Amino acid sequence: MTKEISIVELADMVKGRIMGNPDQRTKVTGTCAIDTYVSSKVSFVRNQKYGELLAHLHNAVVLVPENLAGLCEKYPQNIYVVVEDAVNSLMDTQDFFYKDQFIIAQEGISPTAKVDGSVRLGESVYIGENVYVGKGAFIGDRTKILHNSCIFENVVIGSGTYIYPGVCIYGNCQIGDDCIIHSGVRIGVDGFRFEQDIGRKAVRKMVHVGRVVIGNRVEIGGNTVIDRATFEGDATIISDDVKIDNLVHVAHNAKIGARTVVVAQTCIGGSARIGEDVWIGIGAAISDNVSIGNTAKVLLNAVVAYDVPEGEMVSGFYAMPHRRWKQVYKKLKEEI
C-alpha cells in the first residue's frame, strides 16, 4: 500500500516551516530528484545552483535549507518546507516512505539449509535456501541470512542483522547488531602476506589465525573483502557505525574507527589505523601501517603512504595536505 502524508504533516515530521499557500489537503506519496521532479513527490535543494530548476516547476514540494530561503520568494509558484538541514530532512522523509520495504519478515529455516545441531538461534531468525551454518555459531534475534550464504564455525552474529545472498563469513569472526552485509562480501579471508625465498625458489605464505570483529550498525557493500588478523587473539576491527561501500579491500590487522565512511574501490593495507569520523574517498590506496587521525579526509584516488594528522584533508600521489596539492598542481600547469 502506498504511503501518503499531507504538507502540514510533512513539515511537522521534519521540524520545518511552510512557505507558500498549499492546499491543506495536498498529499505527497514519495520522494524524487529535483531535476526529474514528479508530481505529488517531495524533493530538495542543497545549494544555490539548483535555483534555476525551481523556475521551471509549478506546485512542486521542495525541502529547502534556511540559508536558501530566499529561493522560496524568488520562485513562489512552488511549495516549500524550510528546514535546518535539507539532506537529513530528505533522509527522514525517505525513511518514512520506504524503510519498511526492506524489512524481511520471513522466519524459520529453509528445508535446503544445513545448520549444525550445535548452532544457537535467537527468536524470529530466518535462514534461507542453501545456507550453511557451522558448528558453534550463534545467530541473534531477528537476524536474516539469505540464500547461498556460508557461515563457518564459531561465528557470532548479533540481533537484527541482515546477511544478503552469497556472503561468506569465515570461522571465529564476530558481527554486531543491526548490521547490513551485502551480497558477495567475504569476511575473515586469509591475509595476503607472502615472503619470496629466492634461494629456495619458493614463495612462503604466512598462516593467518586471527579473526574479524565488526561492531554494531555497520554496513558493508557488495563484493567487499575483509581479511582476518595474523595472530591468535588479534582481530581486524571495524568499529560501530562504519559504512563501507562496494568493492573495498580491508587487509589483515587493520583497525577502522567509529563512524568512518569508506567509499568504493578503496584499498586499506595491513595494520593500517583509521581513526573515528574519517572520510575516505573513491579509489584511495592506504599503505600498510599508516595511521589516519580522527576526522581526517582522504580525497578520491589519493595514495596515502605517510601518517595523516587529525582533521587533515589530503589528496594526490603521494597524498599531501589538499591546499598544498592544489598549489603544486597549479604550478605544474603553469610550467607545461
Find the mean pLDDT for residues 276-293.
Answer: 97
Find the mean pLDDT for residues 187-214.
Answer: 93
pLDDT at 318: 82
pLDDT at 1: 65
CATH of domain 5-102: 3.40.1390.10
Question: In CATH terms, are 5-102 and 167-326 the same topology?
Answer: no
pLDDT at 329: 76
pLDDT band at 200 (very low <50, low <70, confident <90, very high): confident
**What is the number of residues in the chain?**
336
d(Cα 246, Cα 266) in Å, to the nearest integer?
A: 9
Q: Which of 91-100, 171-180, 198-207, 210-219 has the lowest mean pLDDT?
A: 198-207
180-181 vs 186-189, strand pairing mode: unpaired
- Which residue in 56, 147, 252, 322 is the catalytic one? 252
Active-site annotation holds for 252: yes
pLDDT at 90: 96
Find the mean pLDDT for residues 58-68.
Answer: 94
pLDDT band at 232 (very low <50, low <70, confident <90, very high): very high
Find the mean pLDDT for residues 74-81.
Answer: 92
Amino acid identity for residue 293 in this structure:
G
Q: Among residues 311, 206, 316, 218, which one has the least CA distance to residue 251?
A: 206
Question: Position of cell 569508506?
Answer: 262
Query: Who wins on pLDDT, 48 or 222?
Result: 222
Find the mean pLDDT for residues 126-139.
Answer: 98
pLDDT band at 159 (very low <50, low <70, confident <90, very high): very high
**pLDDT 10s digits, 5-25:** 999 999 999 999 999 766 667
Find the mean pLDDT for residues 276-303.
Answer: 97
Domain ranges of the chain: 5-102, 167-326
pLDDT at 319: 82
pLDDT at 2: 77
Does residue 80 surpass a pLDDT of 70?
yes
pLDDT at 48: 86
Query: Superfamily assignment of 167-326 in CATH?
Result: Hexapeptide repeat proteins (2.160.10.10)
